[in-house]
Amino acid sequence: MQSAVNVPNRSSRPTVVIADDESLIRMGLSEILSEHGMHVVGEANDGFEAIALCEKHRPDIALLDIKMPMLDGLTAAKHITDNKLAETVVMVTAFDDRDFVQKANAAQVSGYVVKPVSARNLIPSIQVAQARSRDIAALRKKVAEVEDSLENRKIIERAKGLIMTNHHMTEPDAFMYLRNISKSKCIAILDVARMILAANSNQSF
């Protein structure tokens, strides 16, 4: 006798879009996911339908078969990941070779499960893929923050250099000039720097 599955409230359940051209397989996948506390918000017959459902629902997980009519799973996966239509994309495939893995990585797929699919291999694969996609998202966020920080520093340095030239100030005095404006006008120093650069650009016309 199977133990009862503790299913959380629907609002807290991970949402899933399933795409497979075989209805019996979709039904089986849906049953497994529902039994393990996930909420299937849409089922697709092909890659185009999968993309449309992901655009509509923005699911936590897109579970895509690799071989589908109209548009294959990998092509659909690339569109979904490029446009951030799902947090995690997992492929269902009969293949487990290097060529497939390379194509899946190029499509930014977070994981895959090899047929035949069962709860034993599907649920762990999804959990690992979710953890991987969240780690990647966190890394990308950190990289973006570093890039923003460097770009912001460049803007302040350019404004500081302009002040030094126009007002014959030393570098510390130019920075103090920026900071004093920022404090007295209650405007972020980065915004002050941007305004000074913009004003100088306008004056050049």
> Which pLDDT belongs to residue 86?
95
State the CATH number of the domain containing residue 157: 1.10.10.10
> Which pLDDT belongs to residue 134?
83
**Position 137 in a domain:** no
For residues 178 and 103, state if they share a domain: no
State the CATH number of the domain containing residue 108: 3.40.50.2300
Question: What's the whole-model pTM score?
Answer: 0.65
**Position 16 in a domain:** yes
> Which pLDDT belongs to residue 135?
77
For residues 100 and 169, state if they share a domain: no
Query: CB neighbours (10 Å) of residue 51?
Result: 24
| Beta-bridge partners for 91 | 64, 112
Give me the domain span that covers residue 191.
145-203
- Alpha-carbon span 94 to 123, nearest angstrom: 17
* Burial of 149 (C-beta count, 10 Å sphere; 0-12/13-18/19+): exposed
Which of the listed residues 117, 134, 154 is the one where a domain comes to its end? 117
Rounded average pLDDT per 10-residue block, the chain, 205 residues? 40 89 93 95 96 96 93 93 94 78 80 88 92 80 80 91 90 90 90 90 60
> Which pLDDT belongs to residue 203?
63
Number of folded domains that form the chain: 2
